[in-house]
């Protein structure tokens, strides 16, 4: 159990963008690994029916006995859903294709948009001792994403360094504004993260300039470069920080992790016994 002399604050962060292929799952996996390197205890909640975060953290399909689908619809004890990963202080609530039907099944539930919040904010959450919970959202503004936005404290938005990138943010920002006005007044934007950035490419520089001009301090100082080692790591079912610790991608995700913990004043605390 947690050391009672050390109060632990769990920050819940959704990683969301309704556009696919922007580095959302890659960011969830590698930010989690970077935070774990800094001494944080991390839970990744895979809320994408593709289950890529689960696969990328080494969870075989046959080992996903209970998933986030069960967490939402059947309400098992969270400790029965959480699985360890190859990184000591990094855990995951896995997902599989069952989650694809969740929107339909949730539609008849009166509390359909609050279920993930209730699961992640249950009274005994403190026993797990998580410093951060990262929710990997599906690439859509579905009921699953709405659940994540209501459950979380903040939203990290990966933004691919490509033409029209900012235009895709408008609907997500509108959804965040609506949820802040109705179901989660404390919701804030953690930051916008430029991904697949190529300094040699004029377009990447133009997108960066446009993003910083329009969004100001919402854009993280750290940018994630286009890096072949980041792309290769999922095929080995490990974060890039494990696959190639010295790669440019690993350095970038470490910098992002440091930027985030510096904002929050995070300091590692004694490990609880699950």
pLDDT of residue 260: 96
The per-residue pLDDT for range 255-269, each reduced to its tens digit, is: 999 999 998 888 776
Domain that holds residue 37: 11-261
Which CATH number is 215's domain given?
3.40.50.300
Domain assignment present for residue 32? The answer is yes
Token pair, residue 147, equals 């659940």
The per-residue pLDDT for range 33-66, each reduced to its tens digit, is: 999 999 999 999 999 999 999 999 999 999 999 9
Domain assignment present for residue 49? The answer is yes
Percent of the chain with pLDDT over 90: 72
Domain assignment present for residue 5? The answer is no
Residue 27's contacts (CB-CB under 8 Å, 6 or more residues apart) are: 15, 156, 158, 193, 195, 224, 253
pLDDT of residue 20: 87
Instruction: Give CA–CA dist 111/158, Å, rounded.
Output: 29
Q: Cβ distance 114 to 148 under 8 Å?
A: no
pLDDT of residue 3: 41
**Number of structural domains found in the chain:** 1
Instruction: Give CA–CA dist 136/51, Å, rounded.
Output: 9
pTM score of the predicted model: 0.93
Domain assignment present for residue 30? The answer is yes
Domain assignment present for residue 266? The answer is no
Q: Cβ distance 222 to 192 under 8 Å?
A: no
Question: Residue 243 in 3-state DSSP?
Answer: helix
Domain assignment present for residue 188? The answer is yes
The per-residue pLDDT for range 62-84, each reduced to its tens digit, is: 999 999 999 999 888 899 999 99
pLDDT of residue 6: 43
The per-residue pLDDT for range 124-170, each reduced to its tens digit, is: 888 999 999 999 999 988 999 999 999 999 999 999 988 777 777 88
Instruction: Give CA–CA dist 87/101, Å, rounded.
Output: 31
Domain assignment present for residue 274? The answer is no
Domain assignment present for residue 168? The answer is yes
Mean pLDDT of the chain: 91
Q: Does 204 score more than 70 pLDDT?
A: yes
Contacts of 238-244 with CB under 8 Å at 24 or more apart are 238/56, 238/57, 238/58, 238/86, 239/29, 239/30, 239/32, 239/33, 239/56, 239/57, 239/87, 240/30, 240/33, 241/30, 241/33, 241/34, 241/37, 242/33, 242/86, 242/87
pLDDT of residue 165: 78
Q: Does 2 score more than 80 pLDDT?
A: no
């Amino acid at each position: 159990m947690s050391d009672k002399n050390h109060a632990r604050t769990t920050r819940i962060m959704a990683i969301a963008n309704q556009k696919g292929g922007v580095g959302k799952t890659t960011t969830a996996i590698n930010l989690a690994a970077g935070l774990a390197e800094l001494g944080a205890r991390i839970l990744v909640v895979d809320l994408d029916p593709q289950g890529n975060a689960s696969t990328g953290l080494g969870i075989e399909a046959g080992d996903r006995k209970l998933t986030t689908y069960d967490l939402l619809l059947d309400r098992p004890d969270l400790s029965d859903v959480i699985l360890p990963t190859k990184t000591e202080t990094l855990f995951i609530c896995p997902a599989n294709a069952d989650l694809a039907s969740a929107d339909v099944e949730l539609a008849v539930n009166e509390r359909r948009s609050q279920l993930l919040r209730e699961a992640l904010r249950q009274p005994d959450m403190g026993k797990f001792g998580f410093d951060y919970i990262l929710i990997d959202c599906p690439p859509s503004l579905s009921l699953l994403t709405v659940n994540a936005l209501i459950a979380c404290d903040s939203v990290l938005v990966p933004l691919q360094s490509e033409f029209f990138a900012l235009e895709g943010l408008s609907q997500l920002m509108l959804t965040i504004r609506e949820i802040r006005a109705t179901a989660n007044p404390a919701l804030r934007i953690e930051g916008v993260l430029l991904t697949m950035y190529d300094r040699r490419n004029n377009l990447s520089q133009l997108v960066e300039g446009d993003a910083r001009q329009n969004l100001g301090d919402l854009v993280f100082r750290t940018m994630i470069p286009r890096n072949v080692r980041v792309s290769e790591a999922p095929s080995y079912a490990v974060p890039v920080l494990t696959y190639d610790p010295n790669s440019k991608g690993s350095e970038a995700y470490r910098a992002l992790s440091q930027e985030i913990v510096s904002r929050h004043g995070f300091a590692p605390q004694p490990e609880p016994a699950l």
